[in-house]
Amino acid sequence: MSRRKIWFDHHHPKDYPIYVCLLKDEIIGWFSFSAYRPQKRALAQVAEVSYFIKSDFHGQKLGTHMMEFILQIAPSHNKKHLIAILLDKNAASIKLLTKFNFKEWGRMPSILNFEGEICDHLYYGLSLG
């Protein structure tokens, strides 16, 4: 079974949905809630937020609209804390997250080798209401 299929199968619509952004039947972006350390029952109200926007659509406020929707629906999926895990060089995501009051909750320095470039691994988080 492919890694993508396994990932998809772990996203039950009730608890960990995947949403897509369509333009004329073309997927131009997506976001999802994922379980954060699913084996730990104490973390059930925490979700990892992941998102992607095709490069042709960067700078068009799609990320802002997606994040507004994410924050609106998170409580209906019983999520009280959201985390985003990203590379320190991802300035666009850091800008989007901080725009919505996510804070840097953790940094693992120089542990990632991303296409030959050594990067920090960042955790940004937001507690809801």
Residues counted in the chain: 129
For the chain, percent of residues with pLDDT exceeding 70: 93
Confidence grade of residue 8 (pLDDT, cut at 50, 70, 90): low
Residue burial 94-115, b: 16+ Cβ < 10 Å; e: rest: bebbeeeebeeeeeeeeebeee
Q: Closest Cα to residue 56, out of 20, 33, 26?
A: 26
Q: Which domain holds residue 105?
A: 3-127
Residue whose token pair is 């009280």 = 80
Q: Which CATH number does the domain housing residue 71 bear?
A: 3.40.630.30
The strand pairing partners of 20, in sequence order, are 30
The dihedral over CA atoms of 71, 72, 73, 79, expressed in degrees to the nearest 10, equals: 50
Instruction: List the structure tokens of 37.
Output: 């350390």
Per-residue pLDDT tens over the stretch 10-27: 767 677 888 889 989 899
| Contact status, residue 50 vs residue 31, Cβ threshold 8 Å | yes
- For the stretch 86-104, pLDDT in tens is 999 999 999 999 999 999 9
**How many domains are there within the chain?**
1
